[in-house]
Copies of this chain bind each other. A is one copy, B any other.
Amino acid sequence: MTQLIGLTAGLLTTIAFLPQVIKTWKMRSAKDLSLSTFSLFFVGVALWLVYGVISNDLPIILTNVFTLILAGILLFFKLKFK
């Protein structure tokens, strides 16, 4: 049960950024998004990935690879669309 809650939590906080990627792509606008937020978040998720690799923890690696890709796309959109 505890593990199921953890897995659901990880799944939700990972896929959460997909609708933002789709919305920003469609609107071609990232004016309201904070550059600091997505920069800090990108570096933080990258460090979670490093942590997962060092700890050899597959769930941490998998969720953070996916989140890193989404966060990277959002950071790129922010710089591109302003």
Q: How many copies does the complex hold?
A: 2
Contact (A12, B43) CB under 8 Å given A17-B37, A33-B33: yes
Of the four ranges (under 10, 10 to 19, 20 to 34, 35 or more), the interface on chain A belongs to 35 or more
Whole-angstrom distance between the alpha carbons of A34 and B40 in the complex?
19
Are B47 and A34 in contact, CB atoms less than 8 angstroms apart? no
Contact (A36, B19) CB under 8 Å given A5-B50, A51-B2, A54-B2: yes
CB < 8 Å: which of B12, B18, B19, B47 contacts A12?
B47
Which residues of the partner chain B approach A32 to less than 8 Å between Cβ atoms? Answer: 23-24, 27, 29-33
**Which A1-44 residues sit within 8 Å CB-CB of chain B?**
2, 5-6, 8-20, 22-24, 27, 29-34, 36-38, 40-41, 43-44
Interface residues of A (CB under 8 A from B): 2, 5-6, 8-20, 22-24, 27, 29-34, 36-38, 40-41, 43-45, 47-48, 50-51, 54-55
